[in-house]
Amino acid sequence: MKSPVKSLFALLAAAVLASPVLAADAKPAAKADLAKGQAVSAQVCAACHTADGSRGIPANPILQGQHADYLVKQLTEFKSGKRDNAIMKGMAAPLSDEDIKNVAAFYAGKAAPQGAAKTKDLVVLGEKIYRGGIADRAIPACAGCHSPSGAGIPAQYPRLAGQHADYTELQLKGFRDGVRKNNAVMTGVAAKLNDREIKAVADYMAGLH
């Protein structure tokens, strides 16, 4: 009968010997196909977002330069209904996981656009909220998650710099009013902002670069 110590060594040795086989069997994740992503953009997305995801109309988001992981998350949640939007659910429903990955990579590979604040009398308020929050109402600074430049953090927080102020304002109100429900943190933040504060910070972010 083998001793417990010898048995343990035998198990460890087997694991070490097996590990190269397991590593050899593991396949790297397939890279996104930008040409196929471009095709999806042209066939499905271009009517609202333009063929390359550039500026388009202010009510729709700019997709150029947005993080691929973030776009994948949003398209997947439109498709599942977690993010409720009848138009986008219809657009995302026929897309496969591969389609979503490819089109997200296509948009992410484009140079992020630059925008500009439009409402000069709200710039100071917008900057205050974005960079410092509102301490007496426990509203955190936007820059803490979206970075001082508005570049965001891939997968977790979207790029906001240069985004249409109209679109950002609409999303913040959606979070606040319970229309958009796919991010609990943003729901909590937006719930404390009034219309003027939302307009100010949305406009300020449009001019970040």
pLDDT in tens, 136-178: 999 999 999 999 999 999 878 999 999 999 999 999 999 999 9
Please give the distance of CA 159 from its chain centroid, rounded to a whole number: 7
The structural domain count of the chain equals 2
CB count in 10 Å sphere of residue 37: 24
pTM: 0.84
- Whether residue 18 is contained in a domain is answered as no
> Taking a C-beta distance cutoff of 8 angstroms, is the pair 98, 29 a contact?
no
Domain boundary among 108, 132, 152: 108
Do both 85 and 131 map to the same domain?
no
**pLDDT of 11 higher than 70:** no
pLDDT score at 7 = 46
pLDDT of residue 56: 85
> For residue 181, is pLDDT > 90?
yes
Same-domain check for residues 141 and 88: no
Domain that residue 49 falls in: 34-108
Angle of helix 123-132 versus helix 195-206 axis, rounded to 10: 90
44-48, 88-92, 117-121: least confident range: 117-121
Alpha-carbon span 141 to 147, nearest angstrom: 10
Of the chain, the percentage scoring pLDDT greater than 70 comes to 86
Examine the domain organization and report whether 127 and 186 are in the same domain.
yes
Burial class of residue 137 (count of CB atoms within 10 Å of its CB; 0-12, 13-18, 19+): exposed
Residue at token pair 């010898």: 6
Amino acid in position 90: G
Domain co-membership, 88 together with 44: yes
